[in-house]
Structure 1
Amino acid sequence: MRLTVVVITRDRRRSLLAVLARTRELTERAPVIVVDNASRDGTPGAVAAEFPDVTLIRSPRNLGAVARNLAADHVRTPYIAFWDDDTWWDPDAPSRAADLLDAHPRLAAVTGRILVEPGGREDPIVPELRDSPVPGPPWLPGPALGSFLAGASMLRTEAFREAGGFSPRLWLGGEEELLAADLMTLGWELCFAEDVVVHHEPSRLRDPHLRRRHGIRNTLWSTWLRRPLPAAARRTARLLRTLPRDRVTAGALAAAAAGLPWVARERRTLPRDVEHRLRTLETAQRESKARRYVS
């Protein structure tokens, strides 16, 4: 077997069960691992009863994105397809992504084309992935990326482990950016694949304000942890100019500032070539219609 499907979840029993049913439609056999982040709605019991073939890991507390690291410890295949409890892939999409990883040994992550359900409209982030300005080697099978989207990406298990997985500091919300930078520092590549189709039906069971607060905080932390001071200052200033002036933003900025001591201790700037690649994204980030911090 080439790939394992990993899903993290919390208190979304109904949508998770629907997603797990989709894994049975895949054209390529793949083990499935679910990490339950301390759900209170009976999710673990429902998974155990309806999908006994799924490996279920019950976390006693909500680990956020770090639950994916826990799942990765149990993966025995070369590749990990990260799904979410409100996303699913076309039946042949995991095989297409695995084929790309098979053919390109220095490719660490393949991010698919995301369709928003119901309706199947293209997610606003997709044109930015398709038209990514990030330079990459000529052998890449698709546009080079500076980050990836966990619920719509397949990662090479070796690369994921080498880079240390998702940071426990960030918990959840934009957690991919820091890992992507560390993968590129290690010489790995990331790309977009048009024919790897992923569906996303955003769950209504979410706290948009909390997600926005974490997203702002984590963007700032990732920037301060890896970017040179001039680039970090530019991105911080741009965020401060564009963020909504409300309590959510104030809370995010306070949380980001509170992390400055550990950020200073753990700061490690990117190699010059990786920084150059990320700098090409600044205009796209500034003009993005899909990366607005609103809730």
Structure 2
Amino acid sequence: METQQAGRATIVVLTHNRRMQVLGTLDCLCRLPGKWPIVVVDNGSTDGTARAIASRFPSVMLIRAKRNMGAAARNFGVAYAQTPYVAFCDDDTQWEPGALERAITLLDNSPSVAVVSACVQVGATRRPDPTCLSMAQSPLAREQLPGPQLLGFMAGACVMRTSAFYEVGGYWPPFFIGGEEALMALDLVERGWRIVYADDVITRHFPSLSRDTRLRERLLIRNAIWVAWMRRPFRAAWHETNVQWRAARDRGIAWPTMVQMVLGLPRALRYRKVVSPAVESMRALLDITAGSPGTPVSQNPDRRTA
């Protein structure tokens, strides 16, 4: 059974300049029961990451991006997947034994579900990720789904239908990092797909200390505004802009954040396609319970997707 399941999902790992961490992650993934196809996308690393992976894990498919593409580099990995499902993993996350099998079974039994967002346990103490605790209490209707319904997911800790990924066109490159899940989630649900949280699909997260948290905060705010103007009605988009502006001001990053947002807004507006009233009502419900269960994980600056 394990071998059969392993042939039905490809693990796509994204890494950038974290040679030791990604080697540890791959060591754990290669020890999972069954032989899971693994594709690593090296996001333009300059620390010898690609050479180390090729030397130590010759059975792993390695894709070398010429530059850091951010979250959209996952698109390269999915392009090489020959399986109906894709399990995403960052260089600091590791799937637990049995997690992928459970996700595949859930997807097999629930044809309307496109994404299973995993339960993330942080560090050696296995502390539950706060976002997962929130997702478990999502206010969105269950609709006889196999888990709490979401309007977001963790890009580096989820299992997705490959066909659904292609249906929405993958991740939008201009985001770089932060917010890419929000746009994809809206587009998936708009097309009738569902996203669920599964607390028995577990991945471990060992956060790196080498993070530019300030940069990530700016990108999260910028991208949240872009997503709002790409998919939400005018009033909701304007409200989101005001909310994010205040967040940037309170963090002391308003000027650089808003300059970046305004410069990229015309390009975002070229892709504007407002979601249906049904999907907007789901998003509005989450706005009412702000910072709420079921909201896109990209709103949490502690999460890294590239």
With the length of structure 2 as denominator, give the TM-score of the two structures.
Answer: 0.91
Deviation at 1:292, TM superposition (A): 5.7
- Separation in structure 2 between the aligned mates of residue 246 and residue 98 of structure 1, nearest angstrom: 41
Matched-pair contact (CA < 8 Å) for 1:147–1:177: yes
Q: Alpha-carbon deviation of 1:40?
A: 0.7
1:210 CA displacement? 1.3
Pick one of 9, 16, 20 that aligns with 2:22. Answer: 16
| Equivalent position of 1:197 in the other structure | 202
CA–CA distance in 2 between the matches of 1:263 and 1:66? 16
Moved more, 162-171 or 229-238: 229-238
Deviation at 1:176, TM superposition (A): 0.6
Distance 2:12 2:300 in 1: 28
In the aligned structure 2, how far is the partner of 1:280 from the partner of 1:166? Answer: 25
Contact kept? 1:28, 1:92, Cα under 8 Å: no
For the 8 Å contact 1:243–1:293, the answer to whether it is kept is: no
Match of 2:4 in 1: none
Q: Does 1:277 align with 2:278?
A: no
Post-superposition CA distance 1:30-68 (Å, at most 9, x none): 100001011111000100011000000011111111110
* Whole-angstrom CA distance in 2 between matches of 1:224 and 1:136: 28
1:287 is displaced (CA, Å) by 6.0
Answer whether contact 1:101 1:107 (CA < 8 A) is retained.
yes
CA displacement, residues 85-120 of structure 1 (integer Å, 9 cap, x when unaligned): 000111111111111111111210001111110311
Give the secondary structure class of the aligned counterpart of 1:150.
coil
The amino acid that maps onto 1:26 is: L
Deviation at 1:243, TM superposition (A): 3.4
Distance in 2, Cα, partners of 1:104 & 1:4? 19
Q: Report the alpha carbon displacement of residue 208 of structure 1 after superposing the two structures with TM.
A: 1.1
Bigger drift between 143-152 and 242-251 goes to 242-251
Deviation of the 1:29 alpha carbon: 2.5
Q: Give the distance between the partners of 1:294 and 1:78, measured in 2 at CA.
A: 30
Measured against aligned partners, the alpha-carbon deviations of 1:221-258 in whole angstroms (never above 9, x if no partner) come to: 01111011111122222223333445533211111111
SS at structure 2 position matched to 1:142:
coil
Query: Does the residue aligned with 1:40 lie in a helix, a strand or coil?
Result: coil
Distance in 1 (CA, whole Å) between partners of 2:152 and 2:57 is 32
1:144 paired residue number: 149
Query: Is contact 1:3–1:81 with CA below 8 Å preserved after alignment?
Result: yes
Alignment of 1:128-207 (within 5 A): 128-138=134-144, 140-207=145-212
- In structure 2, relative to structure 1, the CA distance for the partners of 1:7 and 1:120 (3 Å cut) is same
- The reply on whether 1:209 has 2:214 as its aligned counterpart is yes
Match of 2:103? 97
Q: Secondary structure at the match of 1:169?
A: helix
Distance 1:195 1:174 in 2: 25
Q: Which residue of 2 aligns with 1:106?
A: 112
1:177-235 Cα distance to aligned partner (Å, 9 max, x none)? 00111111111110000101111111112211111111111111011110111111222
Aligned to 2:68: 62
* C-alpha distance in 1 between matches for 2:187 and 2:234: 18
Tell me the amino acid that sits aligned with residue 106 of structure 1.
S
Shift in CA distance, 45/119, structure 1 to aligned 2, threshold 3 Å: same
Q: Report if aligned partners of 1:35, 1:67 keep a CA contact under 8 Å in 2.
A: yes
Gapped regions of structure 1 (runs ≥ 5): none
Counterpart Cα distance in 1 of 2:181 and 2:277: 20
Name which of structure 1's ranges 64-73 and 226-235 shifts more when overlaid on structure 2. 226-235
Q: Name the aligned partner's letter for residue 66 of structure 2.
A: P
Q: Secondary structure at the match of 1:154?
A: strand
- Which residue pairs with 2:84 in the alignment? 78
Comparing 197-206 with 232-241, greater Cα deviation is found at: 232-241
Any conservation in 2 of the 1:44–1:56 contact (CA below 8 Å)? yes
Q: How many residues align?
A: 294
> Percent of pairs identical after alignment?
40
* Distance in 2, Cα, partners of 1:283 & 1:66: 30
Shift of residue 137, structure 1, vs aligned partner: 2.2
* Maintained 8 Å contact 2:84/2:162: yes
Counterpart in 1 of 2:234?
A: 229
Kept in 2, the 8 Å contact 1:7–1:82? The answer is yes
Q: Please say if 1:238 is aligned against 2:238.
A: no
Classify the secondary structure of the residue corresponding to 2:253: helix
